[in-house]
């Protein structure tokens, strides 16, 4: 029975090292309480001195660049147009949102040197103000492919105004990038239109000189007219020759008079035929060059018309109001502070002070067990 009681006593007793720890904590309980209370009190004072920050958030979707392109606006192709951007379009807008251009705009627009109490005359002032702004600014992509922008400030009204301004500046910078590309395309089209107008003027000059040289102004109409005149003239020649031959066979004085009359008429017809042959020769010589120049002018006119239409479309797009993003959630003035969360600071300080106090007590108690003179002797 004694043996069993002894075993139960040993089983129910705490381990030796745990008993020592509890004994040390109990012996130093009041210093631990004082240290913990002091740490907690200091945390309370510090948390009350920390400035309060308010966070305003806005969310928006990326608009596909197809929506601000001439193909998308004027329907120049039959492909399906995306309304909202995905993938690379979102990444491009995120890059703009994190760019130095945006930070510089926000610093200047809201005088952040003064807001953050940074001396702008210092050499590293731009680094400090940028670091402070980025610590209060966050932009991220949500799981549903929207972009959320949040901005914190001591003034809730200014926080909302800065969030809206940052979002609109992202829109402006993105549009400027798109418009810069469109401007370059429009400038290239203007040069192309100018060159083609000059080429067309040169073609018209060459056509005019060629027509004046050959006396041919409309190859189709003149060909038909000359063909009709040739047929009619040949019939008249044949008729005059036949009449002369008939009067010669008849003989007599009256016949001689008629022969003389028709011979004069025949001479006139032969002269007209010679002139007509000359015109036909010039027409035949001019048909090839004139037709080639006419065809070249038609092609150039068609290309020039297409370029002018496309240039007008570019200019219409550049004059129109465009957007690179669509607002999903407007930035509102926050009514509750975001941080600091004083209760968490105080609780964390209390636990930290208690752990540090206990660790210090255990180290101090453990150190008293050794003769340090002998250790360092």
Domains and CATH numbers, the chain: 187-319 (1.10.287)
pLDDT for 7 beyond 60:
no
Q: What is the pLDDT confidence band of residue 327, given thresholds at 50, 70 and 90?
A: very high
54-73 burial, b if ≥16 CB within 10 A, otherwise e?
Answer: bbbbbbbbbbbbbbbbbebb
CB 170 within 8 A of CB 325: yes
Long-range interactions of 353-357: CB distance < 8 A, separation 24+: 353/35, 353/36, 353/37, 353/38, 353/39, 353/40, 353/43, 354/32, 354/35, 354/36, 354/39, 356/35, 356/39, 357/31, 357/32, 357/35, 357/36, 357/39
- Residue-level pLDDT at 60: 94
CA distances from 70 to 12, 65, 87, 315, 318 (A): 87, 10, 22, 10, 10
Of residues 287 and 174, more confidence is placed in 174
CB neighbour list of residue 4: distance below 8 Å, 6 or more residues apart? none
Of residues 318 and 109, more confidence is placed in 109
Q: What is the pLDDT confidence band of residue 6, given thresholds at 50, 70 and 90?
A: very low
Q: What is the pLDDT confidence band of residue 4, given thresholds at 50, 70 and 90?
A: very low
pLDDT for 12 beyond 60:
no
CA dihedral 37, 39, 44, 46 (to 10 degrees): 160
CA distances from 277 to 96, 235, 281 (A): 76, 15, 6
Which of the given ranges, 31-35, 153-157, 261-265, 355-359, has the highest pLDDT on average?
153-157
> Distance between CA atoms of 187 and 16, rounded to whole angstroms?
89
CB 179 within 8 A of CB 324: no
Q: What mean pLDDT comes out for the span 100-108? A: 94
Q: What is the pLDDT confidence band of residue 30, given thresholds at 50, 70 and 90?
A: confident
Q: What is the pLDDT confidence band of residue 11, given thresholds at 50, 70 and 90?
A: very low
> Distance between CA atoms of 210 and 219, rounded to whole angstroms?
12
Q: What mean pLDDT comes out for the span 309-335? A: 85
- Residue-level pLDDT at 70: 67
CB 331 within 8 A of CB 150: no
> Distance between CA atoms of 63 and 147, rounded to whole angstroms?
12
| Residue listed under structure tokens 């240039």 | 311
Q: What are phi and psi of 337, to 5 degrees?
A: -70, 155
Angle at 243 between CA 240 and CA 247, to 5 degrees: 140
The conformation of residue 111, written as its DSSP 8-state character, comes to T
> Distance between CA atoms of 201 and 195, rounded to whole angstroms?
10
Extract the runs of DSSP E, i.e. beta strands, from 7-53: none
Q: What are phi and psi of 86, to 5 degrees?
A: -140, 160
CA distances from 350 to 46, 49, 50, 360 (A): 13, 18, 18, 15
């Amino acid at each position: 029975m004694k043996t069993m009681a002894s075993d139960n006593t040993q089983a129910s007793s705490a381990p030796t090292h745990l008993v020592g720890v509890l004994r040390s904590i109990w012996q130093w309980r009041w210093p631990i309480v004082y240290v913990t209370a002091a740490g907690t009190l200091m945390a309370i004072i510090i948390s009350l001195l920390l400035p309060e920050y308010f966070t305003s958030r806005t969310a928006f979707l990326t608009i596909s660049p197809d929506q601000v392109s001439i193909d998308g606006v004027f329907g120049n192709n039959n492909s399906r147009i995306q309304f909202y951007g995905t993938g690379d379009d979102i990444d491009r807008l995120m890059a703009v949102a994190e760019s130095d251009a945006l930070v510089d705009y926000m610093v200047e627009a809201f005088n952040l040197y003064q807001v953050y109490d940074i001396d702008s005359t210092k050499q590293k002032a731009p680094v400090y103000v940028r670091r402070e702004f980025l610590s209060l600014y966050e932009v991220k992509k949500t799981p549903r492919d929207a972009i959320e922008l949040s901005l914190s400030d001591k003034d809730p009204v200014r926080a909302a105004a800065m969030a809206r301004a940052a979002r609109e500046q992202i829109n402006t910078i993105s549009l400027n990038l798109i418009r810069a590309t469109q401007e370059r395309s429009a400038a290239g089209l203007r040069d192309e239109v100018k060159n083609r107008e000059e080429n067309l003027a040169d073609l018209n000059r060459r056509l005019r000189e060629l027509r004046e040289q050959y006396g041919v102004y409309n190859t189709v109409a003149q060909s038909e007219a000359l063909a009709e005149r040739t047929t009619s003239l040949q019939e008249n020649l044949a008729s005059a020759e036949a009449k002369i031959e008939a009067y010669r066979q008849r003989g007599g004085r009256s016949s001689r008079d008629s022969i003389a009359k028709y011979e004069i008429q025949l001479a006139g017809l032969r002269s007209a035929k010679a002139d007509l042959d000359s015109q036909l020769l010039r027409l035949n010589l001019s048909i090839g060059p004139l037709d080639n120049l006419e065809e070249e002018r038609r092609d150039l006119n068609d290309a020039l018309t297409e370029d002018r239409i496309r240039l007008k479309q570019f200019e219409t797009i550049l004059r129109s109001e465009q957007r690179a993003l669509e607002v999903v959630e407007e930035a509102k003035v926050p009514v509750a502070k975001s941080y600091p969360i004083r209760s968490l600071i105080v609780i964390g300080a209390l636990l930290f002070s208690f752990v540090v106090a206990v660790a210090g007590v255990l180290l101090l108690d453990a150190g008293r067990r050794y003769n340090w003179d002998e250790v360092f002797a």
